[in-house]
Amino acid sequence: MSTFDFGHQNAASIQNIEGDATIEGGTHASATWETVELRRTIARTREEVAALNLPPPALAAVNRSLDAASQGAAVEKPDRYTVGEQLGEAARTLKETGAPMGSGTGVRQALCRATELLGPAGLATIAAVL
């Protein structure tokens, strides 16, 4: 069973979309659209990083940051600054290793998307590194 509450709407956007779901076993989960999209974006970042063929120590460091960001985003109301700091650390490690981070790369696109989803927190934590 899934229900969705569509909040304020206007012609350009829909704001305050929240989804509730009862998962098998009776577990109840709730997340805003932005939180769900943030989780997907972190997963996409992980996929893009895996395709970079980084040296094992660098890959391990980036994956630790992505794991922490993923855990932070897994709660109902993530702390945007904490998640942003972890994604910013992943971006910093990628830059330090010389990973391709140009405007057309999938990693940069995913991190830019995370920046947008996190709003001011993303600007302060991720965009500053990109």
pLDDT tens for each residue of 106-123: 999 999 999 999 999 999
User: So what's the pLDDT on residue 30?
Assistant: 55
Burial 103-120 (b: 16+ CB within 10 A, else e): eebebbebbbbbbebbee
What is the pLDDT, as a whole number, of residue 19?
A: 44
Predicted confidence at residue 2, as pLDDT, reads: 40
Q: What is the per-residue pLDDT for 11?
A: 37
Choice between 84 and 76, residue whose per-residue pLDDT is larger: 84
* DSSP letter assigned to residue 102: -
Query: Which tokens in the block code for residue 96?
Result: 């330090």
Domain locations along the chain: 32-127
Cβ(46)–Cβ(63) under 8 Å?
yes
Q: What is the average pLDDT value for the chain, to the nearest integer? A: 82
Give the C-alpha separation, 125 to 31, whole Å. Answer: 23
Residue 89 CB contacts under 8 Å (≥ 6 apart), including other chains: 65
Residue 36 near residue 44 (C-beta atoms within 8 A): no
pLDDT at 31: 64
Q: Give the pLDDT band (50/70/90) at residue 103.
A: confident
Structure confidence by residue, pLDDT tens digits, 7-38? 443 334 334 434 444 334 444 345 688 899 99
